[in-house]
Amino acid sequence: MPWWTLIKSFFTFKKKKMIQQIGKDLLKSLTGKDKGETIVYREEAGNNSIICFVHGFNGSPNETFGKFPELIKAESEFNGWDIVSIGYASDMMPTFGLKIWAQQPDITKVAGYFKTSIETLLKEYKRIVFVAHSMGGLVVQRALLSLDEKDFDRITHLMLYGTPSGGLHKATLGKWYNIQVRDMDREGEFIKNLRADWNARFATKIPFYFVSVAGELDAFVPIESSHSPFDKQYYAHTTGNHTDMVKPEDSNHTSFHVLKKAVINKKKHLKLFIDGDLNRLQGNYAGILNSFKGKLDVMSKGALREYIFALEGTKELDDAIKVLEASSHIKDNTDFIGILGGRYKRKYLDNELQPDLDKAIVLYQRAFTMAESSDNADKANQIYYHAINLAFLHFQNEDISNGKEYAQIALKNANECEDDHWKYATIAEANLYLNKDDDVRANYEKAIALGKDKPRDINSMYINAINALSKLNKPKLKEEVDKLFKA
């Protein structure tokens, strides 16, 4: 068969498929089959974060994104995230049903529907990720601008795929018969007002993770319209045309990777958590940050402690350090001085910079000295807490003599305290520095058993133990301890 015949056959086939699709879309429009509905892909007890898909013009919640929601559901790193696709009325022509013509809602009205959905359907979620395609991105942008502060703060990510944020030239041709098409006109009132309101609200910084993704073969929404309204730091690109870009066939697709990079936020110091538990913990942390927003000056000590852990678990370590160093509690509270020392210790473990190690030693030494001279009822607890951290830090600093001295002090004071998981973790770690390996295993087993309902504490013990064992070059014991914690 001649090559030109093959080419002709190919384009004839593509044209036939396109006409068939247009026919199906028109039939849906004329019979009112494209009304909004909500498709739930995952909804599990205990989940406090959700990924919400929003289709575009003439799309639908169950077809626009193809396998995308199921691919997320199949990826273990997204465990703990609920997944939903919310639809709305959007047809090629005015909807016809029961012999009555009904005008399409404009984008502002659809945005109002999404605002209500955030306030009702999604009201229990502490983190909300919007994955919006095409006109759906305009809907979400407008909806977010109308939220009150409490609901707005729950929006953690906005992912726009092929969204005409700058409007469309082509919209002029269709605006006479469809109000949603009219709203996408780049010279229209909706686009102009949206961009003005967005720029006024986010003049300095967009306060959530934001990315505008353009398709390399998107002939419907040009890259200029997707990207130009935003700063270059928010740009991303993906493969496919306007519809294919949100229909990944597998988890290797660029669109999937863009979403995964944005949403998955694994922290080195939380490595013992399995994926679902980690995502639920970070959801709780997001709720803590929102609930105490603007209240730093009036927080109780307990609230500040939780706030610091939440910052460290979801944001950057330096954010937690900044809040602690500005707190009045850091002046005379040995517990908070130790918490600040722990943040610098964590920084050192992340980047191995000597100034961070030195700062951690200074802070723990200060807290240790204060604890020794105090007459508080929990004096022995505070002494062993700071002493075991000083032992750890001195061994990291190759100061074996000081390391062993503080290990002995920690061991003595821990043995004087009532039983709890921290007591036995301290005894285990102290014996590790004193080369009493048999006592290490036995006491870590007790610590794990007593702290089984405190996963964050167990994780902290694990991080200290594994780093200490690596520094001491005890691979066999390290493997045994690793198995103990992961059993």
Q: How many residues does the chain have?
A: 487
Rg (CA), the chain: 28
Tens-digit pLDDT profile for residues 284-332: 999 999 999 988 888 899 999 999 999 999 999 999 999 999 998 888 8
Fold of 28-263: Rossmann fold (3.40.50)
- pLDDT band for 58, please (50, 70, 90 cuts): confident
What is the predicted pLDDT for the residue at 462? 97
What is the predicted pLDDT for the residue at 36? 65
Is residue 2's pLDDT more than 60? no
Do residues 86 and 54 make contact, with C-beta atoms less than 8 angstroms apart?
yes
What is the predicted pLDDT for the residue at 104? 64
Tens-digit pLDDT profile for residues 139-183: 999 999 999 999 999 999 999 999 999 999 864 444 444 677 788
In the chain, DSSP finds a helix count (H) and a strand count (E) of: 21, 9
DSSP conformational letter for 243: T
Q: Which two tokens stand for residue 30?
A: 């004329």
What is the predicted pLDDT for the residue at 174? 47
- Measure the CA–CA gap between 356 and 347, rounded to whole angstroms: 6
Using alpha carbons, list the distances in angstroms from residue 448 to 409, 423, 431, 483.
Answer: 22, 11, 16, 12
Is residue 444's pLDDT more than 50? yes
What is the predicted pLDDT for the residue at 304? 94
DSSP conformational letter for 211: E
* Secondary structure class of 236 (helix, strand, coil): strand
**Residue 176, Cα to own-chain centre: how many angstroms?**
42
What is the predicted pLDDT for the residue at 32? 44
Q: Which strand (E) or helix (H) includes residue 50?
A: strand 49-54
What is the predicted pLDDT for the residue at 105? 78
Is residue 7's pLDDT more than 60? no
Mean pLDDT, the chain, rounded, equals 89
DSSP conformational letter for 196: H
Q: What percent of the chain has pLDDT over 70?
A: 87
What is the predicted pLDDT for the residue at 35? 56
Using alpha carbons, list the distances in angstroms from residue 274 to 125, 158, 200, 262, 419.
Answer: 20, 25, 41, 19, 28
- Measure the CA–CA gap between 233 and 200, rounded to whole angstroms: 18
- Measure the CA–CA gap between 385 and 55, rounded to whole angstroms: 53
- Measure the CA–CA gap between 97 and 101, rounded to whole angstroms: 7
Tens-digit pLDDT profile for residues 325-362: 999 888 889 999 999 999 999 999 999 999 999 999 99
Is residue 484's pLDDT more than 90? yes
What is the predicted pLDDT for the residue at 321? 96
DSSP states of 140-175? HHHHHHTS-HHHHTTEEEEEEES--TT-BSTHHHHT
- Measure the CA–CA gap between 133 and 422, rounded to whole angstroms: 49
Q: Buried (b) or exposed (e) across 141-152, using 16+ Cβ within 10 A?
A: bbbbbebeeebb
Q: Residue ranges of the alpha helices (H) in 215-253?
A: 223-227
User: Architecture of domain 332-486 in CATH?
Assistant: Alpha Horseshoe (1.25)
Query: Using CA atoms in the order 256, 259, 262, 267, what is the torsion angle rounded to 10 degrees?
Result: -50
Backbone angles phi, psi at 169, to 5 degrees: -65, -40
- pLDDT band for 37, please (50, 70, 90 cuts): confident
Residue 197 buriedness (CB in 10 A; 0-12 / 13-18 / 19+): middle
Contacting residues for 268 by C-beta, under 8 A, at least 6 apart: 349, 350
Backbone angles phi, psi at 208, to 5 degrees: -135, 170
Do residues 76 and 160 make contact, with C-beta atoms less than 8 angstroms apart?
no
Tens-digit pLDDT profile for residues 353-362: 999 999 999 9
Domain boundaries, the chain: 28-263, 332-486
Q: Which two tokens stand for residue 41?
A: 């892909």
Tens-digit pLDDT profile for residues 79-135: 999 999 999 876 544 433 333 344 567 899 999 999 999 999 999 999 999 999 999
Backbone angles phi, psi at 61, to 5 degrees: -70, -20
What pTM does this model have? 0.87
- Measure the CA–CA gap between 245 and 239, rounded to whole angstroms: 6
Average of per-residue pLDDT across 27-41: 63
